[in-house]
Structure 1
């Protein structure tokens, strides 16, 4: 029996090849321009210094008062990430409607610019600015996460809405449904699982970001870690690091299970 022949692969145009060559040239130039000294990691002095530094973390601090203090900081970090992500989703959804062109081309261009600004500023920079306004503590960290994540989720939500097939909404509007009702009953249900998946994934990232924000005084485990490292209290720092790892692992597992359930 004669095997069916596969159709020929589509030919790449000149623009695609130029983009690939440009990316390759960028990678080569990046390696050539940076003074990367890989051998310095494997010298006897570097290995000995790393071993001595890591040995200072053992054994971790396990006293009951310190564990309770770490648990409070862990909860603070978790709360910062959860509230920051929730606020970002609430702000990102209306921005996504404008960013998806629902309010006209001019509103789309302006909103996309706003979203680019929000997400191009790192959380640490947002936290440094907000610490001046709100002072030290989790308030500045929470708002910093919300500001950056609103830009990310707004862009992702807008792309999800733009990628939805418009036929269902057009059918409802043709049959007399109002634009808002057609959007709520036809377009939003199609995009909602993907939007929820994006939100949960950003929550995972914000757990790590919330821990880092504590380094600049925004509360949580990061602030504890900076404090004990600055005093060279390595066993206490080891306990904080372990708490970070446990928190990230638990949130990753919970988020993965929720995303699997939503995308089935």
Structure 2
């Protein structure tokens, strides 16, 4: 009897709720999906794009013919030595730029977090926004004009952009960190610098390291692209070989880029595991 009574009560509740809200929700989903599909079709029509052109026999023949010219890759000893030099140069550009930007961003994070008053906070946030709003390629072009072609220009370009990104991230991390430990040291007679170094910084260091590693992974990929504007590394080698229509050599450079990305990802993941293990 109790089971039957509970069943009747459940049916009464379901009947009182009704199915109208669920139907209304489904109708809204269908309307939204229809609008998205309609806008997509209109975008293709406005841009005069024809996806079917990718699958014509002429397009496929040209595509496979172009890709075929990249094989087999050039594995001669002399060229592999050049690849090795560009490989190390790309790592050095990205690592040096990320490390320099991280150090600068730690100092920039203090005013960004409001530790030096409101005027300093406004100025620091404006600097971060300006540095990160300018793309790396634009910075690279400007640095090439300033210091000439080569890895120095690429390092400066990545440093400027990464400082803007990490400065904002570090500042927000510092701003959101609980001030209890720092206040305790301050009340005990410690200065603001000592309170930051011994109370706040150890607490936010893992987050800062995580942000820095993430930006290093991005800078590795970006360093290969900056070479197209003469900023050194594997990217500059790829641009040079493609300009001379040396597809086998360009294929070797592309393979080296892929290996570099896999290597950096593995190193970054390993460092994150070490960090998590140390944190318990």
Higher helix share: 2
SS in 2 for 1:59: coil
- 1:88–1:150 Cα contact (<8 Å) kept: yes
Aligned to 1:15: none
| Number of residue pairs matched by the alignment | 242
* Shift, 1:196, TM fit: 0.8
2:137 aligned to which of 124, 141, 147: 124
Q: Is 1:49–2:25 an aligned residue pair?
A: no
Aligned to 1:186: 199
Q: Which has the larger radius of gyration?
A: 2
* Shift, 1:110, TM fit: 1.0
Regions of 4+ moved over 6 Å: 25-28
* Shift, 1:225, TM fit: 0.4
The alignment yields a C-alpha RMSD, in angstroms, of: 2.1
Aligned to 1:22: none
Aligned to 1:19: none
* Shift, 1:46, TM fit: 2.3
Normalised TM-score (structure 1) = 0.86
* Shift, 1:177, TM fit: 2.3
Aligned to 1:104: 117
Aligned to 1:235: 248
Tell me the distance in 2 between the aligned counterparts of 1:147 and 1:84. Answer: 8
- 1:194–1:263 Cα contact (<8 Å) kept: no
1:58 aligned to which of 46, 71, 74: 71
Aligned to 2:4: none
Provide Cα deviations, 1:116-140, integer angstroms capped at 9, x if missing partner. Answer: 0101111110110111111111110
After superposition, the Cα gap between the structure-2 partners of 1:180 and 1:28, relative to the gap in structure 1 and judged at 3 Å, is farther
Q: Is 1:253–2:266 an aligned residue pair?
A: yes
* Shift, 1:32, TM fit: 4.1
Normalised TM-score (structure 2) = 0.81
Aligned to 2:147: 134
Which sections of structure 1, spanning at least 5 residues, go unmatched?
1-24
